[in-house]
Amino acid sequence: MTAEKYVNTIVRKIKCGKKRKEEIRQQLLSDIGAQTAQGHSLDDIMRQMGAASEIAEGFNENLSNDERKKYKRTKRLKIFVPIFAVIIILLAGIYIYLPKSSPIEDSARFQKDIVEEYMKNIAIQVGENDYAALQANATEQMKPFFAEDYLPNIKNQLASDWGTLKSFGNIYMTEVSQLGKHFAVGEITVVYENVTVTYRLSFDNDMKLAGMYMR
């Protein structure tokens, strides 16, 4: 077993946030490297340090409440975000490829320029973490996803610091009918200072945000 694999096994068992895990990982690798430089073999070092589970438990016992909360939040996100993403992708795919989809220009319910304006506003609000505006513009089902303690974690999956919005790319829109309901569905690529994000958004008849997927 290599030092890297040994340390990674330990770190995976520590129940803290990503940043703190990386700090611990670097600390352990540094300690092992220092002992190796003094002539100790890796096998002897690992034997002296003990089992990975025991070392991890030692770290866990000394973690702050804040780090424990970060771990629980990250664990929930790892479970929920993929499910949410799959649901949104499936819904968006259904919306776009249903035979009842039609050009937004032919819609009697949605105006192309208004849908475009709303899409750009959502991109601006997400970039600025404007939780109040996002919740005001969302359906009741979507509001929880724009909570102050939730949205930043979703954004961090793409980049830790998006920076300011720089430009909008091409916008594609269509009207989709499903089970008697009508939605304006659109895709827009947005360039921020440190990341480029493609949004897939859907709006209901009241122009409330009914679905969002970012990649």
Question: Which structural domains are found in the chain, ordered by start?
Answer: 3-63 (no CATH), 77-214 (3.10.450.590)
Give the pLDDT mean for 69-97. 63
Q: What is the pLDDT of residue 72?
A: 64
Q: What is the dihedral of CA 204, 205, 207, 213, to 10 degrees?
A: 20
Q: Please enumerate in sequence order all residues whose Cβ is within 8 A of that of 197, keeping only pairs 6 or more positions apart, or say none.
A: 123, 158, 162, 189, 190, 214, 215
Coil, strand, or helix at residue 110?
coil
99 pLDDT above the threshold of 50: no
- Return the pLDDT at 36: 84
Q: How far apart are CA 20 and CA 204, in angstroms?
A: 42
CB atoms within 10 A of CB 31: 14
Given a contact cutoff of 8 angstroms between Cβ atoms, the answer to whether 136 and 163 are in contact is no
Is 3 or 65 the better-scoring residue by pLDDT? 3
Query: Predicted confidence band at 57 (pLDDT cuts at 50, 70, 90)?
Result: confident
The predicted-structure confidence for 27-37, as pLDDT tens digits, reads as follows 888 878 888 88
Measured from the Cβ of residue 69, the count of other Cβ atoms closer than 10 Å reads: 13
Q: pLDDT band at 73, cuts 50/70/90?
A: low
* Mean pLDDT score across all residues of the chain: 83
Looking at the predicted structure, is the pLDDT value of residue 69 above 70?
no
The arithmetic mean of pLDDT across residues 129-152, rounded, is 88
Looking at per-residue pLDDT, the higher value among 97 and 128 belongs to 128
User: What's the pLDDT band for 14 if we cut at 50, 70, 90?
Assistant: confident
Check residue 94 and give its pLDDT.
55
Predicted pLDDT of residue 124: 95
Residue 97, pLDDT above cutoff 60 = no
pTM of the model: 0.53
Retrieve residue 53's tokens: 């589970």
> Is the predicted pLDDT of residue 70 greater than 60, yes or no?
yes
Rounded CA separation 154/133 (Å): 17
Alpha helix stretches (DSSP H) within 13-127: 18-37, 42-49, 52-61, 65-97, 112-127
Q: Which residue has the higher pLDDT, 52 or 135?
A: 135
